[in-house]
Amino acid sequence: MTTPCIITVAITGSLPQKRDNPAVPITAAEQIESTHAAFEAGASLVHLHVRNDDGSPTSSPERFAQVMAGIRQHCPGMVIQFSTGGRSGAGRERGAHLALRPDMGSLATGSVNFPTRVYDNAPDLVAWLAAEMQAHDIKPEVEAFDLSMVFQAAKMAREGRITGPLHVQFVMGIQNAMPADREVLAFYVQTLRRLSPHATWTGAGIGRDQLTLARWSLELGGHCRTGMEDNVRLDRDTLAPSNAALVQQVVQLCEVHGRHAATPAETRALLGLPAGV
Q: Distance between CA atoms of 64 and 168, rounded to whole angstroms?
A: 23
Q: Please, what is the minimum distance in Å from the beta carbon of residue 107 to Mg ion?
A: 12
Q: Please, what is the minimum distance in Å from the beta carbon of residue 86 to Mg ion?
A: 5
Region of 54-62, 79-87, 88-96, 192-200 interacting with Mg ion (CB under 5 A): 79-87
Residue number with CB closer to Mg ion (35 or 83): 83
C-alpha closest to that of 106 among 114, 118, 98: 98
Region of 26-34, 81-89, 110-118, 172-180 interacting with Mg ion (CB under 5 A): 81-89
Per residue, the 3-state secondary structure of the chain, as one string, reads CCCCECEEEECCCCCCHHHCCCCCCCCHHHHHHHHHHHHHHCCCEEEECEECCCCCEECCHHHHHHHHHHHHHHCCCCEEEECCCCCCCCHHHHHHHHHHCCCEEEEECCCEECCCCEECCCHHHHHHHHHHHHHCCCEEEEEECCHHHHHHHHHHHHCCCCCCCCEEEEEECCCCCCCCCHHHHHHHHHHHHHHCCCCEEEEEECHHHHHHHHHHHHHCCCEEEECCCCCCEEECCEECCCHHHHHHHHHHHHHHCCCCECCHHHHHHHHCCCCCC
Q: Please, what is the minimum distance in Å from the beta carbon of residue 183 to Mg ion?
A: 26
Q: Please, what is the minimum distance in Å from the beta carbon of residue 194 to Mg ion?
A: 27
Contact by Cβ (8 Å): 13, 229: yes
Map residues 184-213 to x or -, x wherever contact with Mg ion holds by CB under 5 A: ------------------------------
Q: Please, what is the minimum distance in Å from the beta carbon of residue 169 to Mg ion?
A: 10
**Longest CA–CA separation in the chain, Å:** 48
Q: Determine, following the binding rule CB under 5 A, whether residue 152 of this chain makes contact with Mg ion.
A: no
Region of 82-90, 153-161, 162-170, 246-254 interacting with Mg ion (CB under 5 A): 82-90
* Position closest to Mg ion via CB: 83
Q: Determine, following the binding rule CB under 5 A, whether residue 169 of this chain makes contact with Mg ion.
A: no
Residue number with CB closer to Mg ion (8 or 83): 83
Q: Please, what is the minimum distance in Å from the beta carbon of residue 218 to Mg ion?
A: 22
Window 216 to 275, contacts with Mg ion (CB under 5 A): none
Residue number with CB closer to Mg ion (67 or 259): 67
Residue number with CB closer to Mg ion (83 or 249): 83
Q: Determine, following the binding rule CB under 5 A, whether residue 83 of this chain makes contact with Mg ion.
A: yes
Q: Please, what is the minimum distance in Å from the beta carbon of residue 83 to Mg ion?
A: 4
Residue ranges in contact with Mg ion by CB under 5 A: 83
